[in-house]
Amino acid sequence: MRQNLCGMIFLALFVSFVACNAPPVPLDDIVIEKTFVPEKCDRAVKSGDFVRYHYNGMFPDGKKFDSSYDRGSTYNVYVGKKQLIEGMDKALVGMCVNERRLVKIPPALAYGKTGYGDIIPPDAILHFDVLLLDIWNPEDTVQIQTYYKPEKCGRTVQVSDFIRYHYNGTLLDGTLFDSSHTRMRTYDTYIGIGWLIAGMDQGLLGMCVGEKRIITLPPFLGYGENGDGSDIPGQASLVFDVVLLDLHNPKDSILVENQVIPEPCIRKSQEGDFMRYHYNGTLLDGTFFDSSYSRNRTYDTYVGKGYVIAGMDQGLLGVCIGERRRITIPPHLAYGEEGTGTKIPGSAVLVFDIQVIDIHNPSDTVQITSSFKPESCSTLSKKGDFIKCHYNASLMDGTHIGSTHSYGRTYDVVLGAGQVVPGMEMGLKDMCVGEKRTLVIPPHLGYGERGVEGEVPGSAVLVFDVEMVGLEEGLPDGYMFIWNSDVSPDLFTEMDKNKDGKVEPSEFSDYIVRQVNDGKGRLAPGFDAHKIIENMFSNQDRNSDGQITADEFKLKADESPAHDEL
Distances (CA, A) of 47 to 30, 37, 220, 506: 17, 20, 19, 124
d(CA 447, CA 390): 20
| Residues 211 and 153 sit within 8 Å (Cβ to Cβ) | yes
Burial of 354 from C-beta contacts in 10 A (0-12 / 13-18 / 19+): buried
| Residues 516 and 523 sit within 8 Å (Cβ to Cβ) | yes
Query: Strand 162-171 and strand 187-190: pairing?
Result: antiparallel
- Backbone phi and psi for residue 276, each to the nearest 5 degrees, phi listed first: -115, 130
Report how far apart the first and last C-alpha atoms of the chain are (Å, whole number).
166
Catalytic residues: 55, 65-66, 85, 111, 128
d(CA 355, CA 41): 53
d(CA 297, CA 291): 9
d(CA 291, CA 211): 26
d(CA 237, CA 134): 7
| Residues 480 and 536 sit within 8 Å (Cβ to Cβ) | yes
What is the residue type of 81? Answer: K
| Residues 481 and 522 sit within 8 Å (Cβ to Cβ) | yes
Count of CB atoms within 10 A of residue 39's CB? 6
Q: Which SS3 state, helix, strand or coil, does residue 490 take?
A: coil
| Residues 459 and 274 sit within 8 Å (Cβ to Cβ) | yes
d(CA 433, CA 386): 12
Count of CB atoms within 10 A of residue 78's CB? 16
- Bond from prior residue into 264 cis (ω within 30 degrees of 0): yes
Q: Which SS3 state, helix, strand or coil, does residue 469 take?
A: strand
Q: Which SS3 state, helix, strand or coil, does residue 511 take?
A: helix
d(CA 522, CA 18): 141
What is the residue type of 157? Answer: V
- Backbone phi and psi for residue 118, each to the nearest 5 degrees, phi listed first: -85, 0
Sequence length of the chain is: 566
d(CA 499, CA 7): 172
| Residues 126 and 57 sit within 8 Å (Cβ to Cβ) | yes
Q: Which SS3 state, helix, strand or coil, does residue 88 take?
A: helix
